[in-house]
Structure 1
Amino acid sequence: MPRSRKKSAPSACVVVKVCWPLQKAAVNGKKLLTKLEWVWGMKYPTPDVAHPLNIVHLRADWRMLFGKGQWLLVPELRDLEALEKLSKTTLANGQPSKDLNKDQDRKEFTYHFLPKETMSEPICRFEEAHNGNSSKNIDGPMVEAQPSAYDVHFFPVDTLPPLKSHVCLRFIVFNCTRQASFDICKMDALISTTRILHSKHRTRWSPAV
């Protein structure tokens, strides 16, 4: 069976919903938020789950699967290495590096879609689901859109091209860290079966706090 298929879209709208990589349930309470502020070198009370840099618009089915922890976005290895370098600088001098905030100035990041082994159902990627934006861009307006065609991707979803998003790198890494910690062996297995990811990704998961 091929890992991806292209199909014509029916005459219907694609409903998108808001998703928060830095989820409120994960940072419930001011204690953790205060800790994140210090580690990330941010001013109080900057880390806000409602911040535009923490909002991504997803198709309803993608949003549901994300909420259930069935998949995660993985940053580019070079971005992880750069963040790791800054983190080591922070640990060395005892103060957060001001450069940690530079990811807020970037307009776009590249992320990879990584499904959990429990995600058995295929996913669809619509070509024009975001008002003419590239199908590689995961972001879009919070409105319904009229697609013309879509691709169906099957596990391990390595046929899906890298996705572009404005969402802050630190928020994605925080989400990855929480999800990757569920079982290191399973994370190793997922990365080894996904050709788009480098094996070094596994060594880059450092606690966010």
Structure 2
Amino acid sequence: MIVISNPTAIANEINTIHALFEHGLELFHVRKPDFSEKEMKAFVAAIGLKYRSKLVLHSQHQLAEDLGINRLHFSEKTRKQIDPETLYHYNEKRIHLSTSIHTIEAFNDLRIFFQYAFLSPVFASISKSNYQSNIDLLEAIQNRTNHQTKLVALGGIEAENIQKTLAAGFDDFALLGTIWNAENPIKNFELCQQIVLSY
């Protein structure tokens, strides 16, 4: 199970991140698009060394080595601009790569460099108003031909639709709005976790 940070600051954010890890969170995506280098360093330092191996950087990739982070995420736009040799270099250095896509056709065309990819939005987004796909992605993934890259569902994922999402063929899912828009983020995380354990 993956959790993505809220793009902007949230009250008690670091405490919530620590609590998520203590409750079994596997990977935490640091998606803070407006962060400067200094802000990114401070945020990662606040999370602490204990969880460093579970952090994924969405931006300020140049800081990864100094911060001891070996997981990088590329947006669809950045992925299309990056040189394949650079991706090969990352793989040689055992840096885990992930990316974002919005169609199953784009997923099928992904190069082998990426460990997993977010396909979104599977359902109407919780964190972004009026953001949903104009096609049924649960149906579209029946056309999946890429089985080397893990397919991760993103967008509107909550306890009520996790089972349906996994049954449709997704390998995993990522949570954003159901965590950061909730009054009790940890309770929502535990609900999702219970569904996975019983699936």
Flag the structure with more relative contact order, 1 or 2, with Cα contacts below 8 A and sequence separation at least 6: 1
Q: TM-score, normalised by structure 2?
A: 0.32
